Structures are given as structure tokens and as C-alpha cells.
Chain A
Amino acid sequence: MEHIVIIGNGIAGITAARHIRKLSSKRITVISAETDYFFSRTALMYVYMGHMKFEHTQPYENWFWKKNKIDLKKAYVTQVHTETKKISLESGEQMTYDKLILATGSVSNKFGWPGQDLNGVQGLITKKDLELLEINAPDNKVCKRAVLIGGGLIGVELAEMLHTRNIPVTFLVREKAFWSSVLPFPEASMISNHLLSHHIDLRHEEELDEIIGDSHGNVKAVRTKKGEIIACDLVGLSAGVRPQIKFLEGSGIDTDRGILVNRYLQTNIPDVYAIGDCAQQREPVGERKSVEAVWYTGRMMGETLAQTICDQPTLWNPGHWFNSAKFMDIEYQTYGWVWNSPKEGNAHYHWQDQKNNRAVTVEYNLHERTFIGINTFNMRMRHEVFDKWLDDQQSVDYVIENLQQACFNPEFYKKPFHEIQSDFLKQKSAI
């Protein structure tokens, strides 16, 4: 029986395993060094905040794997021997595969800052990071202040987490407003204001210069590029992630930032594939980045690759871009593409309700008036409807006029659509 070995039990590896099981009776082994069972990485924050226990982050009950004949193995893979189709585990054990799927996820970016390996410097990616955070920052007596570096989505989660334990947070971000490398400025500043309103000490246009330790090798303070010294007990790294591929050195598998794959998610070595955070597209698809460290991409790659593995070669060909996140109390969703400033030939329509932290930005083509994408804040939108509108290349006018159809807010919510529509028409006639 063909043996499929999957390294990594995250969303990518597990989705591949589940779908291969649905389509075939191949032998499947999933190896991970992190946990016995699949859990949702995106939910780590809720464990620290006390919303959930760790077991609640596991989407399947423990009997599920045996019942579906998916073998799980907790082990660290040290080497892949592509010539002999074997992998070596840390214990010295070896395992043979017929097909190998690499789904090894990400590690935190470190940019060689002085002091980056001191005790009390950490990211938030793994279960171990969560446990470490309980040691580094259990409360505001052990951790009198935390400094977060880099303004990504993990950073805002860390800020919210520490905030629930009344730990003062200083947040250094390079940009003029939070995540303004992705969000249009008015939205980014709305998020900045929201963080400030929660007493997060957000410092714009400020960067880390050095992490300063004490004589025991613990973090004592950071120095910023502007020269300020901020005393702290925890430095949270949230300056992005990069693929976890170090153990592949010398395996013959082509890597760049991530594991290089073609549109069939295949590496340069036959029968070796890569999916999820660790994969890098040789040619990016459409406007997408070559490495996409998002949940949905991992899941969809798993679904796609399972088809290929089960004799139905299928191209990685994702549909319209979508994503979502939450910035403390502000929910964010996006469908299609909205850049932080409109692409050449495009324009933004922006609406904001400051009192309720609600906002909408629509990107559209100025000349053709086609709808390109939408960002919404504190306004849930229906994925299905936007997918269709993007397929149909609807005009921005149509989209604004029919926003109501795409509303996904709970019943009885006060809807701002009339206000948006009249504001849009007013701006349009003013041009």
C-alpha cells in the first residue's frame, strides 16, 4: 500500500490527510514535533485570555484519527533523504515514504537584533510559545511591561492578550498608522486609535535598535531607533513569520524563502510536495504573494494536493482573495483586493463611522468602474455574494447599491447601508 508521509500536523497537513483519506485507502502518517493532535493555531490567544482551554482548540475528538486510519506520530524530523525516500527522526529512527508532503509551517522573523536570544524575548506561533508566555508574562508583577516589535496581526493579538492581564504594553510599529502597509490610511488610523483607546502605548514610526539584558541573561529593556530606553520584562516579536525549512538543508529540495513548488505544489524532487506556510510558489498566482502564511491558503492547498496525490492532478488555482482578522474589538473582513493606496488606474471609496468603529473601503477601476475589492470593519459581509460579484466583474455602483444583499451581521443590527449609499452618490456627483 502506498505510504503517504506528511510532516506537520497543522491545517495544511491535516487537511491533506483528511482529504486523501476521503479519496483513497492509502496508508497515511502525520508527523509533528509540536503536539499529539491537530489544534487551531489561530486560537492560541484565546487560551491565554481564558476564553478557552487548550483542548477546545482541537477541532477533532481524539478518537477521530484512529477511526479514520490516520496514523499520528509525535517526533521531530531531522533529515529528508530524497534518494532513498526516507526520513530520519530525532530518535534516530527512520521511516520510508512513497510520497512526502512537507507542511512544516512558520517560525518568527528575527532580524539579527542585538539581544534577540535573551530570556523573555519570544514570538507567538507554537504551543510552546504559549507556555513560555505563561512563564514570561503570567501577570503584571512578573512582567511589569511588555514591548512588542512590529505591527502585524500576531502583534495585535499579543497586545490584546497581555492587556487582559493588565500588563502595560508598548507597541513599536514602523508605519505612521497600524498595519498601514496593508490597510488604507484612514482604516489604519482607526485601528491605531482603537488600540490607544485600550491604553496600548502605541508608538508609530518607531523601531527596535537593541534589546538590553541583565547579568542573568534576562531582558531588562529595549532601546529604540530614536534612542529611547524602555524598561520591560518581555519582548514580543511580531515582525512577521518565515517558512520553517532549516532541517531541509542538504536534502536536495530547492528552497528560497520557502520550499519552492510548481503549480502542482510539487518540489523539484519527484513525490515530494510542500503546502501551507512553508511553500513558496515559483510563479505567484495572480496578485497573490509567493508565500502566503494564512490559514485559508494552508487549507485550500491541502484540499488541492489531496486530489493530485489521489491520481487527479490538480493545479493550485485559488479563487478570489479573502481574509479576516480582529483588532481587539474591531472585526475586519476583506474580499478581492484593496491595497493601502489604490493601484494605478484604481480609486478608493471610503466611508467611516467613527463612533461605532465601522468603516468600508472599496477599490475600483476608475475608467471601467469595475469593483476590485472591499475592506469592511465591524460589518460582517457574505463571502458567497462577493465571490459572485467578483466573478461577474460587477461595477462599483452596483456593489454599493446592493451592499445590503451581502450583509452578514446578526439580525436586528442597525445597518449603515443607506448612509453609505447616499454618501457614495454625493462623492460621485462632486467629482
Chain B
Amino acid sequence: MSTYQRNMSLAGEPPKALNTTQRLAVVVGMAGLGILVLHLFNQEITHPAIWLTAALTLISGGIIGFAAGSYAHKQEGIKNDGVWFKSISSRGFLGWLLGIALTGFYIVLYFYAELLGLNTEGDNTGVISLFDPLSRALSGNPASQWFVYGTLYTIAILAFGIKFMWKYRHNRYEVIRTISVMFFQTAFAFLIPEFMARLNGDGYNLPYYDLKNIWPLNYYNFEQYRINDFISSGAIGMFLLIFGIVSIFVITPILTYKYGKRWYCSWVCGCGGLAETAGDSFRQLSDKSQSAWRIERWVVHSVLVFVVMMTTTVVSVYLGYENEGYWLSRDVFLFTVAAGLLVLYAAIMYWKRHQLKKDAVVGATVYLFISLASVALIYFVDITQIKVDASYFSLGLNQGIYTLDVAVKSLYGFLIGAIFSGVIGTGFYPIFGNRVWCRFGCPMAAILGIQQRLFSKFRITTNGGQCISCGNCSTYCEMGIDVRAYAQKGENIIRASCVGCGICSAVCPRGVLKLENGPMEGRINSEAVLLGQDPDLMALLSDRKAN
């Protein structure tokens, strides 16, 4: 290590040191968390409403107080001083500690909820019972581990959202976008489903439904129990079911065409919302290498194929039971899926092949083949007769024997739903950055990304020759896009993974980047030549480049 890096380890010097307000805020926030932790071990809880209010107020107060200590006394502008010196934001000791704590929390939440006080029989105890009063007030029911999680999640988005807006108060795009995610989280993810639960009982049997959570992110939306619930809940149920389908096939494509995937990923989505607010301090940790990009493309598209196949399997199985009274038959459904995939593939290959690199074509073809083969398998073989011994896949943790469809569903729920999106996706924020899930795992992001790349008006425009290759944009791109590689060549950035967070544009010290919606024509300008040159040379350069 060279001298200057050694000197950096000096503890507690600005810009690394915390000021008094920040320290106080940490104490306040920790006190709030401490209340929750103490209640882990508390079987009999007295005054849960008071303690819960105290805990949540202290936690939010701590976060907002920390934001005040960080930004209130500073002028508007970019606030990245010391990011790479601070242990928490540079994969230092605190970063690892937080990563381990978060990962542990997710493992308990998903697999050992009884430790939080969830009891199969009898009332909640522990932390979960602390949340009972709030849950009763909203839905009328006692809390579950998911209610606890949902509440903390919403508090995180709201409090860190305020911090984020404070930090970027000079940038209205960031402020408005953050208000949007805060709203969608509070209203759509948190309150509306709880209120919907209140309806249940008198003629309604609505499943828990966050309306903005669209399939395939919401991979279980079309499982049998939910479809039955929807169908048995009258007009509201049918509306929700139809809304779920319309969101996929109408709303999403139109909005993505007009604005790019950002309308969802950084304006609406809850995963994105948490990443942008609570995860903002970790965006610089994403891997920018080309090899990471290659892995990303394979992994995220594999998850997409996996979810399509999983859902097809699950739906086809319950459509296959006789006399269930579904409008759609199994064969029609399977035929539609196969035909849909084929048409999509053919359309892309016909109209967009010149925009695809060779490996994309190979990938798409392999994926099409796998998908069609699985559809054929489901069609010709009664997969409910195939038995799978789960102990092979779970290292012996699960000894059960399942039919293939249930096995596929459980495997997806376990691997993708729990491990990838929760444990790794959020637990590893301080290690891999805040969008690991969105980048490598989210099948919704994969679909939106394909459309954004091929059929959308969105792009990030680069400003002629102004780039000085400084690297701020690439460093702070949470999706690991090497923005500079495009900017320094004067090329627009049109990448499937770009969630349109706008931070690259915000941190650019030379005003080089602008997120825009414009005509599709000329959107991809990889033959671009940097402005500022003699016009004849520009012509010559692009001539020679094109040849």
C-alpha cells in the first residue's frame, strides 16, 4: 500500500469523523433498535403500544437526526466526501459487521420466525407481539413476522428517504422520485393491503396484495390459492386479478416504452425504493468490471426463464384438474405460452437482430429452447406424478418428497424469493452494493431491461465532448454500469440494466449526462464521434469507424 492509503486509516479525522449531532443521532437510533432487540427475549410484554411507538420514533428520529447532522449545515451540492474512507461505506469493518447483522436478520425472518416470537399455537410473543397493537389497528389481526418486516421496511424507506432528499436537495429529479417511492411503499405496499384484509370475512377472501408488485417480481401472484381467493371475492377480487394481468401486458409495456424501466425500478418498486434510500450509502460498491456484466446477463435472464417456467408449471397443474371451473384450459394455456415465447423471439430476431451482440443471440436461443422444452415436458408428461426428493437439493435440510410442480415452486421460493432477494439482495448491501438483487436476480428488471434496450424512448444522453473521464459516474452507478466508457466516447447510454436513478448525472462534475425520453430514431449512436473536433475530421473518424 502506498503511503497515502496508510495515512487514511487514521481514525476519526474529517471527512470521516462523525460530528456531535451525528453521534447523538446514532445513540438515539440504537436506543430504538435496542428496544426491539430487548423484546426478542421478552416473553410477557407490557404496554406494547408504548414501547413500539418509542422504538419506531427513536429509530426514525435517529436516521433523520443523522441526516440533519450530515447535511443541514452544508450548502446544496454533491455530498460524497469521505465515502471511501468510512468503514461502513467502503467494505471496512463496520460494513462487514452490518452485512453480517442484516444477513442474520433475514435468515431468522425467513426460516426461524419463531425466534422473533411467532408461535404456531397461541398468541405472539417477543418482538412480534410488540407489533400486535399496530397490526390490529390497521387490519384487525395480530402481527406476523411479515408485518414486522413490512413496518420496519416502510420506516426505513421513509426515514432514509428523507435523508436522501436532504442529500440531493439541489436535484429535483431525485427529490420527486424519492417522494414517489415513499408514497408507493407507504400506501400500496403497507397500508392498502392491511385495509384490504379488513374487508375479508364478509363475502371477501382477498389475498394479501401489494398492487404495485407485478408478476414476475410477485412470483406467487398466480398460484392456485390466490386465483381462487380473487375469484371468490366478487367484483373487487376480479378487479385485482385483472389488474394484475393488465399491469403485465398493458401498463408495464406502455410506461417502459415511454420512460424506460425507471418508472418502475426507481419510482415505484419497493425493492428499488429500499435500495435507493436505505441503500444509497452503498451504491459505489457495485462491481463495474466487464466480467461482472457478463455474469449479470446470464444470471438475471436465467432467473427470468426460471420464473416463467415455474409459473407455467404451477398454473398448468391447477388448470389441469378437471371440474375446477376455470375459464382457461390447460392445453390452451400451454399453447399460448409457447406461441407467445416463439413470437417474441422471432420478432426480436427479425427487427432487432442488428442491435444484438452475438452472445445475446446465442443466449436468447438457448433460453428459448429450454423454455419450449419445458413447456413440452409439462404438456406430454403428467408432472404431478414425478416425485422429487428434496434432500438432494437442500443438503439434507429438507427431507420431504414432493411432486415436481411443488418442488419447482418451493425451489424458486427458497432460492430466489428468500435467499436471493432477501438474504443476499439486502443483507449484502454493504458488500456488493445496494442493487445486487435488482441487477443479478430480479426477473421483473430482466423483462423491463429487455424492453428498455430494444423498445423504449429512454436513454442517457452524453453532452458532446465535455467528459473528462473522471469516473464519478461509473463509481456511483449502483447497477455497475461503466457509464464513463460511453460518456468519454460521446455515446448515449442504453443499457438494459439502467434503472434511471439519475445519480450518474447528478455526480458528474462537468454536466455530461442527462436522462431523457426522445425519439427511438438515432437513440443508439455507437458510431458517435466526440464533438469539439474539426468537422472534416469528425466525418473522417466516423467514416473510418463505420468501415
Indicate if A99 sits at the interface (CB-CB under 8 A): no
Q: Which stretch, B376-384, B435-443, B501-509, touches the partner chain A? A: B501-509
Interface bits B492-516 vs A (CB < 8 Å: 1, else 0): 0000000000100111011100111
User: A52 touching B484 by the CB < 8 A rule?
Assistant: no
Given contacts A138-B10, A139-B10, contact A59 B514 (CB under 8 A): no
Given contacts A164-B15, A317-B534, contact A410 B469 (CB under 8 A): no
Quote the shortest CB–CB distance from B505 to chain A (angstroms): 5
Indicate if A303 sits at the interface (CB-CB under 8 A): yes
Given contacts A46-B470, A51-B81, A322-B464, contact A165 B13 (CB under 8 A): yes
Q: Closest residue of chain A to B470, judged by CB?
A: A43
Given contacts A314-B540, A315-B534, A383-B465, contact A50 B83 (CB under 8 A): yes
User: A134 touching B464 by the CB < 8 A rule?
Assistant: no
Of residues 358 to 377 in B, which have CB atoms within 8 Å of A's CB atoms? none
User: B511 touching A56 by the CB < 8 A rule?
Assistant: no
Interface size band for B: 35 or more
A133 to B16, CA, bound (A): 17
Q: Closest residue of chain A to B534, judged by CB?
A: A317
A408 to B510, CA, bound (A): 11
Indicate if B77 sits at the interface (CB-CB under 8 A): yes
Indicate if B471 sits at the interface (CB-CB under 8 A): yes
Indicate if A333 sits at the interface (CB-CB under 8 A): yes
A19 to B507, CA, bound (A): 29
A-B contacts at CB below 8 angstroms, number = 194
Q: B46 — which chain A residues lie within 8 A by C-beta?
A: none
Q: A61 — which chain B residues lie within 8 A by C-beta?
A: 289-290
Given contacts A324-B511, A411-B173, contact A134 B470 (CB under 8 A): no
Quote the shortest CB–CB distance from A283 to chain B (angstroms): 16
User: B80 touching A140 by the CB < 8 A rule?
Assistant: no
Indicate if A397 sits at the interface (CB-CB under 8 A): no
Q: B466 — which chain A residues lie within 8 A by C-beta?
A: 296, 322, 324, 333, 383
User: B532 touching A317 by the CB < 8 A rule?
Assistant: no
Q: B289 — which chain A residues lie within 8 A by C-beta?
A: 61
Q: Closest residue of chain A to B510, judged by CB?
A: A324
Q: Closest residue of chain B to A166, judged by CB?
A: B14
User: B472 touching A329 by the CB < 8 A rule?
Assistant: no
- Pick from B8, B488, B514, B540: contact of A408, CB below 8 A: B514
User: B533 touching A333 by the CB < 8 A rule?
Assistant: no
A57 to B468, CA, bound (A): 10
Indicate if B203 sits at the interface (CB-CB under 8 A): no
User: B544 touching A23 by the CB < 8 A rule?
Assistant: yes
Q: B465 — which chain A residues lie within 8 A by C-beta?
A: 296, 299-300, 322, 383
- Pick from B173, B464, B468: contact of A382, CB below 8 A: B464
Indicate if B339 sits at the interface (CB-CB under 8 A): no
Indicate if A387 sits at the interface (CB-CB under 8 A): yes
Interface size on A, residues (CB 8 A): 66
Q: Interface on chain B toward A: helix, strand, loop, or mixed SS?
A: loop
Q: B76 — which chain A residues lie within 8 A by C-beta?
A: 329
Interface bits A396-431 vs B (CB < 8 Å: 1, else 0): 000000000000111111100000000000000000
A383 to B531, CA, bound (A): 8
User: A40 touching B10 by the CB < 8 A rule?
Assistant: no
Quote the shortest CB–CB distance from B361 to chain A (angstroms): 23
Q: B516 — which chain A residues lie within 8 A by C-beta?
A: 411
User: A303 touching B533 by the CB < 8 A rule?
Assistant: yes
Q: B507 — which chain A residues lie within 8 A by C-beta?
A: 51
User: A326 touching B509 by the CB < 8 A rule?
Assistant: yes
User: A408 touching B463 by the CB < 8 A rule?
Assistant: yes
Given contacts A312-B540, A382-B463, contact A135 B84 (CB under 8 A): no
Given contacts A383-B532, A410-B172, contact A51 B84 (CB under 8 A): yes
A319 to B541, CA, bound (A): 14
Quote the shortest CB–CB distance from A414 to chain B (angstroms): 7
Indicate if B545 sits at the interface (CB-CB under 8 A): yes
In addition to A50-B80, A165-B13, A329-B76, 5 A-B residue pairs with Cβ atoms within 8 Å of each other are A131-B2, A319-B531, A319-B532, A409-B514, A412-B176
Interface residues of B (CB under 8 A from A): 2-4, 7-8, 10, 13-16, 75-78, 80-86, 170-173, 176, 289-290, 461, 463-466, 468-472, 474-475, 484-485, 488, 502, 505-507, 509-511, 514-516, 530-538, 540-541, 544-545
